Chain A
Amino acid sequence: MTKRTLFDKIWDAHVVTAVPNGPTQLYIDRHYCHEVTSPQAFDGLRKRGLKVFRPEKTTLSPDHNIPTLLQDQPIKDLISKHQVDTLTRNANEFGLTMYGLGHSKNGIIHVIGPENGLTLPGMTIVCGDSHTSTHGAFGSIAFGIGTSEVEMVLASQCILQPRPKTMRITFNGKLKSGVTAKDLALYMISQLTTGGATGYFVEYAGEAIRALSMEERMTVCNLSIEMGARGGMIAPDETTYYYIKRREFAPKDEAWDKALAYWKTLPTDEGAVFDRAIAFDASAIEPMITYGTNPGMGISIHSSIPTLDEIDPAGRISFEKAMTYMGFTPGEKIEGKSIDYVFLGSCTNGRIEDFRVFASFVKGKKKAEHVIAWLVPGSWAVEKQIRAEGLDKILEEAGFALRQPGCSACLAMNDDKVPAGKYAVSTSNRNFEGRQGPGARTLLAGPLVAAAAAITGKITDPKNI
């Protein structure tokens, strides 16, 4: 029998038809929707006089535009309010499940899907959001789509997709203590560049990946898009099943046994061929931080920013533009630079484990006075867990306050904007120009490096405190 990859098995099982000389018509098991990329899709349905084909397979949550303070009050930004209200209206009109503002299940769509057991191994999952790749951590094919495709899924529960190539990225060895999944991902993107995996669907494998918790696996898969990959995935194992079994919408009893038996057939067959395979030594990875304006511009916290000579000639205009924007000089050290803001949150690092890591580091210490820190749980369930574990008290004693869940400063569609020229150590996913506010200077890092920066007010190796 042909040896197949995890990707091949799930893809093949979801092919409805193949367009001659064209893309595949793929059936979608789960569709997530937020307020920013869906209104035009619902409008499209109305114009064509269509209903949602399989309403039970779509789940909505407003997350991008919502404030992270005073969520019980009407949203002050009227344009944001209109977009959030439009999502509610569409949910009602088309009979869809929505976890709106004030609902105990509200939160960032990529956080609430997994924590409610809506994301399962073997599924095809899409959302009008590039970080849909997060859900691949469960051994599913999950990827971001545009609004026209959101409309296709709503209308037919299918989309047309060319089959991507497959890539396996293996992390051999163990991560050093004090090195997080975010560091692993930033290291990988710095090696592959932001376009290095374009056209591919990635499977992460190896000892260091197996050792990761589900939260950490989600961080890695979430960042797949930052090297251009269509998505990233990790074969399900006992860690996956243990995480899912406790979740509200996960299969129960006989259905669980049946599902589990199927999930166990999914991992890549021994000897299956990938279009490309690369390997890294996980034990060589140091805490990482980015210095430039794309997520591929990452270095170990002890390293210097590259000099112009080290940059490929074709990329020098962009590199110099990034240096000017960031206010950095090529060749200088990044450690010890003063920072102004710290953001803990987003679909990349807004889960309970990220708050545990951050809280355990700042416990008994004090936030640097000049640093403004935004700690934004990824969902209300995460917020509740933070309080249940008493992490909120630890954070408060160290001078931090929790905000309310949402995408927040990751893309600054709400009021959480970093002012022009200010430096933010951010656990989010993108350091593009203006991403956290016009002129804002973003340094991407993991929750541990962010915690160290919040305490010292400088870019600091957490090990040195």
Chain B
Amino acid sequence: MEKFQTLTSTCVPLPIENVDTDQIIPARFLKATTREGFGANLFADWRYDKSGQPISNFVLNNSTYSGQALVAGKNFGSGSSREHAAWALAGYGFKVVVSSFFADIFKGNALNNGVLPVVVSDVFLLELFAAIQVDPTTTITVNLEQQTISNNASGVVETFEINPYKKECLLHGLDDIDYLLSKKDAIEAWEKAH
């Protein structure tokens, strides 16, 4: 997994609540047997029309907005457990998703793929959407070590929560399997006892 330490980036705003993983990557694109290539179909049904042409008013097709941070409405990533949603976001180039609430399975999948879900307050989120609307070059800075996110337009800084173990994994680019493989003796001992 790629390391994550800090990121300063412009933002792609998606002020819609309850964005489910079927929207992030529709089921018909889940037929691949590798992790690559999902970025091209990120938000496919909002991004392309029936003939495959880009829908101009969707934010990913609007050159005004760009960056490695997606800023989305409350309850992002609900629904299916498909890790393809995290692969699609990472494949497109997003390193951070900012929202006021994330679905559990999505959050875990994102962290396992080097995409950092940053939970901010409702107020911070609304102000960030407003700032991006006024000035699309608005940037945020996310510092994982400090667990801070700043809206660089207003200077407002918030701290965010992350499990200390997952934080270490991201900072150093380690994944859970390395940990589990180092615990084989404990696993065999558990099995003997049960």
Interface code B83-105, partner A: CB below 8 Å = 1, 0 otherwise?
A: 11010000000000000011111
**CB-contacts of B14-62 with A (<8 A):** 15-18, 20, 22-23, 26-28, 30-35, 45, 50
Q: In the complex, A433→B47 CA distance in Å?
A: 13
B104–A148 CB distance below 8 A: no
Choose, from A66-74, A111-119, A313-321, A385-393, the stretch at the interface.
A313-321
B78–A145 CB distance below 8 A: no
Choose, from B3-11, B138-146, B179-187, the stretch at the interface.
B179-187
Q: In the complex, A281→B155 CA distance in Å?
A: 49
Give the shortest distance, in Å, between B1 (CB) and chain A (any CB): 9
Q: Which residues of A contact B179 (CB under 8 A)?
A: 19, 25, 160
Cβ of B73 < 8 Å from any Cβ of A? Answer: yes
* Contact with A83, one of B31, B103, B184, B187 (Cβ below 8 angstroms): B31
- Most chain A CB within a 10 A radius of its CB, from B35, B73, B102, B104: B104
Cβ of A194 < 8 Å from any Cβ of B? Answer: yes
A159–B74 CB distance below 8 A: no
B27–A411 CB distance below 8 A: yes
Q: Which residues of B contact A314 (CB under 8 A)?
A: 17, 73-74, 122
Number of A-B contacts (CB under 8 A): 191
A156–B163 CB distance below 8 A: no
Cβ of A146 < 8 Å from any Cβ of B? Answer: yes
Closest to B48 in A: A438
The verdict on A315 contacting B17 (CB below 8 Å), with A27-B190, A129-B81 known, is yes
Q: Which residues of A contact B101 (CB under 8 A)?
A: 195, 198
Give the shortest distance, in Å, between A310 (CB) and chain B (any CB): 16
Q: In the complex, A159→B131 CA distance in Å?
A: 40
B105–A146 CB distance below 8 A: yes
B31–A156 CB distance below 8 A: no
Give the shortest distance, in Å, between A264 (CB) and chain B (any CB): 18
The verdict on A22 contacting B164 (CB below 8 Å), with A149-B108, A152-B177 known, is yes
B109–A148 CB distance below 8 A: yes
Give the shortest distance, in Å, between B125 (CB) and chain A (any CB): 9
A130–B105 CB distance below 8 A: yes
Cβ of A435 < 8 Å from any Cβ of B? Answer: yes
B16–A321 CB distance below 8 A: yes
Give the shortest distance, in Å, between B79 (CB) and chain A (any CB): 6
B34–A40 CB distance below 8 A: yes
Interface code A147-173, partner B: CB below 8 Å = 1, 0 otherwise?
A: 111011001111110101000000000
Cβ of A2 < 8 Å from any Cβ of B? Answer: no
Give the shortest distance, in Å, between B64 (CB) and chain A (any CB): 19
Q: In the complex, A248→B132 CA distance in Å?
A: 59
Interface code B157-191, partner A: CB below 8 Å = 1, 0 otherwise?
A: 00000011110000000011101110110110011
Give the shortest distance, in Å, between B177 (CB) and chain A (any CB): 6
Interface magnitude class on chain A: 35 or more
B23–A156 CB distance below 8 A: no
The verdict on A17 contacting B186 (CB below 8 Å), with A158-B180, A317-B15 known, is yes
Q: In the complex, A321→B46 CA distance in Å?
A: 12
Cβ of A39 < 8 Å from any Cβ of B? Answer: yes
A148–B112 CB distance below 8 A: yes
* Contact with A434, one of B22, B33, B34, B84 (Cβ below 8 angstroms): B22
Give the shortest distance, in Å, between A27 (CB) and chain B (any CB): 6
**CB-contacts of B106-165 with A (<8 A):** 108-109, 112-113, 122, 163-165
B80–A22 CB distance below 8 A: no
Q: In the complex, A36→B34 CA distance in Å?
A: 11
B34–A43 CB distance below 8 A: yes
**CB-contacts of A367-420 with B (<8 A):** 411-413, 420
Give the shortest distance, in Å, between B78 (CB) and chain A (any CB): 5
Cβ of B75 < 8 Å from any Cβ of A? Answer: yes
Cβ of A182 < 8 Å from any Cβ of B? Answer: no
Q: Which residues of B contact A296 (CB under 8 A)?
A: 18
Closest to A321 in B: B16
The verdict on A25 contacting B16 (CB below 8 Å), with A194-B75, A433-B22 known, is no
* Contact with B186, one of A25, A83, A155 (Cβ below 8 angstroms): A25
The verdict on A37 contacting B81 (CB below 8 Å), with A152-B176, A412-B28 known, is yes
6 additional A-B pairs beyond A27-B190, A79-B31, A433-B22, beta carbons within 8 Å, are A48-B177, A128-B83, A145-B105, A314-B17, A317-B15, A438-B45
Report A's interface with B, CB cutoff 8 A.
13, 16-17, 19-23, 25, 27, 36-37, 39-40, 43-44, 48, 50, 53, 64-65, 79-80, 82-83, 86, 128-130, 132, 144-149, 151-152, 155-160, 162, 164, 194-195, 198-199, 225-226, 228, 230, 294, 296, 314-315, 317-318, 321, 411-413, 420, 430, 432-435, 438
Closest 10 CB pairs of A and B: A22-B165, A39-B33, A146-B83, A144-B81, A146-B109, A195-B75, A21-B164, A148-B112, A156-B180, A130-B81
- What are 5 of the A-B contact pairs (CB < 8 Å)? A25-B183, A146-B83, A148-B176, A412-B28, A433-B45
